[in-house]
Amino acid sequence: MLEIKDLHVNVHGKEILKGLNLKVPPGEVHAIMGPNGAGKSTTSYTLAGRAGYEVTKGEIDFFGEDVTALAPEERAARGIFLAFQYPLEIPGVSTMNFLKTAMNSQAKIRGEKELNAAEFLRAVRAAAKELNISEDMLKRPLNVGFSGGEKKRNETLQMALLKPKLAILDEMDSGLDIDALKLVAEGVNKLRSPDRSFLVITHYQRLLDYIVPDVIHILAGGKIVLSGDKSLALQLEQNGYDAVIAKAA
Amino acid sequence: MTGSLSESLLATMEKRRGAVAPWLGDLQGQAQEFFKREGLPNRRVEAWRYSDLAKALRDDPLPDATPVFAPELQQAAVAAFVNGVLDDKSSYARIGAVNLRTALGEKDSPLAGVIGKVYPQADHPIVNLNTALLEEGLALRVPAGEKVSLPLHLRFLWTSAGSDRHLRLLIQLEEGAELTVYETHDGAPLFSTVVTEFTLGKGSKLTHIRQESFLAGARQAAVTLGEIAEEATYRAFYFSQGGQFARHEALLKLAGETAHAELDGAVMVADQRHCDNTTVIEHAAPNATSNQVFRSVLAGSARGVYQGCIKVGQVAQKTDARQLSRALLLSHKAEIVTKPELEIFADDVKCSHGATAGELDANALFFLRARGIPEAEARAMLIEAFFGEALDKIESDVLREAVAKSVNAWLTTHAGEAAHVE
């Protein structure tokens, strides 16, 4: 479903990704781990289509289509979802209005029928209940005054409603204590399915105890230097990035 | 051109002088003398530095599309001014308002004690010009304790390029009275001035919603003069899309203890439009409060001006006065000028002012787009949110929706405009 080929990306004129290759088949959970400055966030922003992340070479094929020239909203409508490391607080935009606009915008881009008010409410209530999100949270402006855990649960709710084919979780564990992390991971695990893939981007191995990956890739110096099964995470935990990367080289 | 315009204005003043109402005394004569001496304000006058009226009137009027008029408010007393002439068929008399033209034709009038007497501005160029050319307007006095349930809709419709009128509105609220005024300006006056004088008696409350949706060629200078007595409240929302020249000044005097003025401004200007909001709030009594927040969104090569002056007199201890200007610039050619002025002569006061100007938050914009919301719509959402807080403060659902409609109409046309700018 996702195949990244020899991807080179410049940010502010500096090359950050230097030939990234990655293949994620349907239904699999892949983790990208790497030290600070390896290009983890650049990878997630580039996949989502953020302005300022300039692809100078290579392709991002999503179901066989190169999406590098598509706008963020067009990628979203094709099923690419980025869960933000720091979800934005947007005062003045209610969570409900935001969710409805997002769902209907995607439907519109895909040429599908938009939800009416009742269908939308039913969908939100069901998903919110599943993720333990209160009605009160939904009434508040988007993420305003939410705790770290609430913000991440809200991201999970958006994922549940938007039903992406590829979910990129960018440092999902940032700013979460262990209880909040468990709760969020539980939400994510409920969304695992044979036709949905995950790309879990993380610095620490901790998150992978709760969202168990099929494959782990180590990103260093702008490319994948090593791939393996989940035991790779333990090696990293014990020996540190430097030793593992040195061994791979 | 200014010469000839000034001359023609003077000629009109000469004709008008004395021919109107004996009870005005020499009010018009003095105003005319001032105009003769000072002429139209230009940028060499400090208060008009960023809004050069003389130049705007010298320029050729911009061609305009057919105006779309704000619908007449239902369940309201309506005063429709068609090209500056009060339509006598409109329903303003329902709440006791009177046609100023009629009053000016009479030998004597109780309005003698009102007109030109509210927070007098002897050296104000627009007030003087308006006074010298006085012929049309409306007056309303709300007796003590009366809470007027019907809002007064002042509906200004400018249809032809030849329209050139100078209007005076007089509103007096006696002790404990309450009134809502909804003022809409549509179309494109060639040059008009509107001067409103209001007095608020003890504990009275005036809600003033001003909605300027001019066409691009409109040229108007408006002044609202108000005196607010103890425990009275002036609650205003000023919406403006600017014009070739659009300026509104609120000159307010908080004359009694715990008097309160609350102003919210929402400015949405595009293309080459100009919009000026100027406020002077004089705290002339202790414990009075004022709060003003002006929000501007500027696109194209539009220019917004906000001048906010707070004067705190020596007696006005425990004053609490705040002002804030926030601007969103959607294009690199758009411009906002913010000029705060604080003149404080009391020592135990709280006064604050602040100004921000910036682009739409790129992070928020990306977040919305990454969820599938197209750029223009995402921008519109963020701009709407920017005005949301101010709109929420409009108590009447009908009026809030009317203003929201103008906001949304503007967004439909202009929110996506800066899409190419990064």
Taking only the tens place, the pLDDT of each residue in B206-238 is 999 999 999 999 999 999 999 999 999 999 999
Mean predicted lDDT score pLDDT of chain A: 93
d(CA B346, CA B349): 7
Is the Cβ pair A73, B374 closer than 8 Å? yes
> In this predicted structure, what is the pLDDT of residue A135?
87
Residue A149 above 60 pLDDT?
A: yes
Q: Which residues contact A69 (CB under 8 A, 6 or more apart)?
A: none
Handedness of CA B373, B377, B379, B385 (dihedral sign): negative
**Which among A84, A106, A141 has CB closest to B367?**
A84
For residues B345-353, average pLDDT: 96
Closest chain B C-alpha to A91 CA, distance in angstroms:
7
Q: Taking the C-alpha atoms of A159, A165, A171 and A172 in order, what is their torsion angle to the nearest 10 degrees? A: 30
Going by DSSP bridges, is the β-strand pair A53-62/A65-66 parallel, antiparallel, or unpaired? antiparallel
Q: Which residues contact A239 (CB under 8 A, 6 or more apart)?
A: none
Concatenated DSSP letters of A194-235: TTBEEEEEESSSTHHHHS--SEEEEEETTEEEEEE-THHHHH
Instruction: Give which of A185, A194, A174, A168 is closest to A81, Cα–Cα.
Output: A168
Q: How confident is the model at residue B203 (pLDDT cuts 50, 70, 90)?
A: very high
Among A50-54, A203-207, B381-385, whose mean pLDDT is lowest? Answer: A203-207
> In this predicted structure, what is the pLDDT of residue A246?
86
Is the Cβ pair A105, B377 closer than 8 Å? yes
Please tell me which residue, A142 or B19, carries the higher pLDDT value. A142
Distances (CA, A) of B58 to A107, A247, B41, B65, B191: 52, 78, 12, 21, 11
Is the Cβ pair B372, A82 closer than 8 Å? no
Q: How confident is the model at residue B3 (pLDDT cuts 50, 70, 90)?
A: low
In one-letter notation, the amino acid at residue A50 is R
Is the Cβ pair A90, B367 closer than 8 Å? yes
* B interface residues, A as partner, C-beta within 8 Å: 361-364, 366-375, 377-378, 381-382, 384-386, 388-389, 422
Closest chain A C-alpha to B373 CA, distance in angstroms:
5
Residue B419 above 60 pLDDT?
A: no
> In this predicted structure, what is the pLDDT of residue B45?
92
What residue segments make up the domains of chain A, in order of their start? Answer: 2-240
> In this predicted structure, what is the pLDDT of residue B234?
98
For an interface test with B, the pick among A42, A70, A81, A88 (most B C-beta atoms closer than 10 Å) comes out as: A88
Is the Cβ pair B377, A49 closer than 8 Å? no
Is the Cβ pair A88, B363 closer than 8 Å? yes
> In this predicted structure, what is the pLDDT of residue B15?
82
> Does residue A115 sit at the B interface (CB-CB below 8 Å)?
no
> In this predicted structure, what is the pLDDT of residue B420?
44
For residues A28-46, average pLDDT: 94
Which tokens go with B297? 């969104």
What residue segments make up the domains of chain B, in order of their start? Answer: 2-414
Q: How confident is the model at residue B421 (pLDDT cuts 50, 70, 90)?
A: very low
d(CA B343, CA B256): 19
Instruction: Give which of A86, A221, A69 is closest to A146, Cα–Cα.
Output: A86
Residue B163 above 90 pLDDT?
A: no
In one-letter notation, the amino acid at residue A37 is G
Distances (CA, A) of B135 to B13, B78, B91, B185, B221: 11, 19, 20, 19, 17
Q: Which residues contact A163 (CB under 8 A, 6 or more apart)?
A: A79, A196
pLDDT tens per residue, range B43-81: 999 999 999 999 999 888 777 778 888 889 999 999 999
> In this predicted structure, what is the pLDDT of residue B389?
83
With 0-12 CB in 10 A as exposed, 13-18 as middle and 19+ as buried, what is B418? buried
pLDDT cut 70: percent of chain B above it: 97
> In this predicted structure, what is the pLDDT of residue B135?
87
pLDDT tens per residue, range B177-202: 999 999 999 999 999 999 999 999 99
* CA triple B1-B7-B9, angle to 5 deg: 105
> Does residue A105 sit at the B interface (CB-CB below 8 Å)?
yes
d(CA B129, CA B211): 23
Considering the domain A2-240, what is its CATH architecture? 3-Layer(aba) Sandwich (3.40)
Which tokens go with B210? 């001003």
